[in-house]
């Protein structure tokens, strides 16, 4: 796995073998960030990377100039890896261990971009709960963006605030917007 672009472009990440993760492929990650290049100014946003796993998405945001990134995962080893890599690369990432839903229900912070990549087998009810909590609790800034990564078997098109989806092999990125009035 590598960082696609930015100040650390081309840097390879040595992922420990014992992490319970399914990293976003470099191909899908590159496609996602090509889309985001036209939607956000990286040096002006705050990002939440939920179910961060290897931290691949958080590292990509940091390499592109995001000044504050929260990376959250339920697995202690994933959080330790993200913390040590963020320190080694001098990235502005705050990593913490927490359950996805518990974190969303308790946080009082707001972000411009929330990226969520839960395990694909987490269940449709959790996929439906994520946008519901994000928008009910107003966790996005005005004009903020929620990106939910899921498999092709999961359908989120009927959920409120849904805008569109992009598929890359079995990876699907669904976009939800907090359009300002």
| Structure token pair of residue 135 | 């928008």
Question: Would you say residue 16 lies in a domain?
Answer: no
Q: How far apart are CA 113 and CA 117, in angstroms?
A: 13
Question: Would you say residue 83 lies in a domain?
Answer: yes
CB-based contact 152:172 (threshold 8 Å): yes
Question: Would you say residue 39 lies in a domain?
Answer: no
Question: Would you say residue 8 lies in a domain?
Answer: no
Question: Would you say residue 5 lies in a domain?
Answer: no
pLDDT in tens, 87-134: 999 999 999 999 999 999 999 999 999 999 998 778 888 999 999 999
**pTM for the structure as a whole:** 0.94
Q: How far apart are CA 77 and CA 33, in angstroms?
A: 26
pLDDT in tens, 8-40: 999 988 888 888 787 778 888 999 999 999 899
**For the residues of 23-34, what is the DSSP string, one character each?**
PPPHHHHHHHHH
What is the domain range of residue 156?
Answer: 109-181
Q: How many domains does the chain have?
A: 2
Q: How far apart are CA 113 and CA 131, in angstroms?
A: 13
Question: Would you say residue 6 lies in a domain?
Answer: no
17's CB contacts (< 8 A; 6+ apart) are: none
Together in a domain, 181 and 116: yes
Q: How far apart are CA 113 and CA 86, in angstroms?
A: 19
pLDDT in tens, 36-82: 998 999 999 999 999 999 999 999 999 999 999 999 999 999 999 99
């Amino acid at each position: 796995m590598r960082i696609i672009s930015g100040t650390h472009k081309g840097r390879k990440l040595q992922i420990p073998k014992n992490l319970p993760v399914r990293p976003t492929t470099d191909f899908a990650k590159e496609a996602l960030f090509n889309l985001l290049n036209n939607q956000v100014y990286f040096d002006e946003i705050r990002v939440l990377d939920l179910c961060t796993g290897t931290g691949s998405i958080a590292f990509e945001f940091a390499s592109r100039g995001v000044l504050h990134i929260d990376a959250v995962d339920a697995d202690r080893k994933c959080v330790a890896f993200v913390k040590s890599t963020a320190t080694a690369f001098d990235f502005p990432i705050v990593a913490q261990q927490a359950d996805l839903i518990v974190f969303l229900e308790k946080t009082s912070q707001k972000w411009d971009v929330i990226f969520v990549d839960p395990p694909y087998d987490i269940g449709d009810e959790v996929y439906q709960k994520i946008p519901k909590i994000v928008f009910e609790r107003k966790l996005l800034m005005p004009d903020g963006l929620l990106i939910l990564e899921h498999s092709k078997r999961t359908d989120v098109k009927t959920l409120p605030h849904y805008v569109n989806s992009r598929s890359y092999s079995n990876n699907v990125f669904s976009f939800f917007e907090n359009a300002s009035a």
